[in-house]
A = this chain, B = another copy of it.
Amino acid sequence: MAEDLQGKNIAIVATDGVERIELEEPRGALRGAGAQTQVLSTHPGEIQARQFDMESASTIAVDRVVADASVDDYDALLLPGGTVNPDKLRMDSDAMGFIKAFVASGKPIAAICHGPWTLVEADAVRGRRMTSWPSVRTDLRNAGAEVVDEEVVIDGQFTTSRSPADLPAFCPAIIEQFAKAPQAAVR
């Protein structure tokens, strides 16, 4: 298991308002399976993290500004939740350009909780079977997704989960899905 993601480079796109555990626990699992990870954000420095959306949960270091990143450098993409995080990403043309290019690449994308909101913005969910935090489901449906209430849903390149309570199922599922990705052509 620990060797599954050796040589893989995973992008984590997030910004202020990210739900801390939805970034850190999957990142830990990916690293534990041998992957390298980078937090890509809308600005350099640190992003403000949250717990249950409303409680401050300190900061998370940004590894690279998303405007400077290329999809070619990564094998898979992780989209954590936190309500304000995707709300801000949806309005950032660099973040949305990166996410849209990732969708077009066909490489694996995992999104948890409010994470799928950026996939709605990217018009990437049409005809896809997905789950999310309950508040996002009307928007997913209106964007053409088939929404289900399951702990992990895999459809093509997308793996989705509902909330931090699903992390014990989400983490092994994304390791398995990300392991199937061909290694990035350029580093």
Which residues of A line the B interface, CB within 8 A?
A: 16-17, 48, 53-54, 83-84, 87-88, 90-91, 114, 120-121, 134-135, 138-139, 142-143
Q: Whole-angstrom distance between the alpha carbons of A48 and B120 in the complex? A: 28
- Does B54 lie within 8 Å of A135, measured CB to CB? no
- Does B54 lie within 8 Å of A134, measured CB to CB? no
Closest to A56 in B: B56
Q: Which of B84, B120, B142, B143 contacts A54 (CB 8 A)?
A: B84
Q: A142-B120, A142-B143 are in contact. Are A135 and B53 (CB under 8 A)?
A: no
A/B interface sample: 15 pairs, CB < 8 A: A16-B54, A17-B53, A17-B54, A48-B54, A53-B84, A54-B84, A83-B84, A90-B134, A90-B135, A91-B134, A120-B138, A120-B142, A121-B138, A138-B139, A142-B142
Q: Whole-angstrom distance between the alpha carbons of A35 and B88 in the complex? A: 35
Query: Nearest Cβ in chain B — how far from A111, in angstroms?
Result: 16
Find chain B residues with CB under 8 A from A135 CB.
87-88, 90-91
Query: Nearest Cβ in chain B — how far from A163, in angstroms?
Result: 12
Query: Nearest Cβ in chain B — how far from A82, in angstroms?
Result: 10
Known: A16-B54, A138-B139. 10 other contacts (CB 8 A): A17-B54, A17-B83, A83-B83, A83-B84, A83-B87, A87-B114, A91-B135, A120-B139, A120-B142, A138-B143
Q: Whole-angstrom distance between the alpha carbons of A87 and B63 in the complex? A: 29
Find chain B residues with CB under 8 A from A48 CB.
54
Q: Whole-angstrom distance between the alpha carbons of A120 and B17 in the complex? A: 23
Q: Whole-angstrom distance between the alpha carbons of A135 and B91 in the complex? A: 6
Find chain B residues with CB under 8 A from A138 CB.
90, 120-121, 139, 143
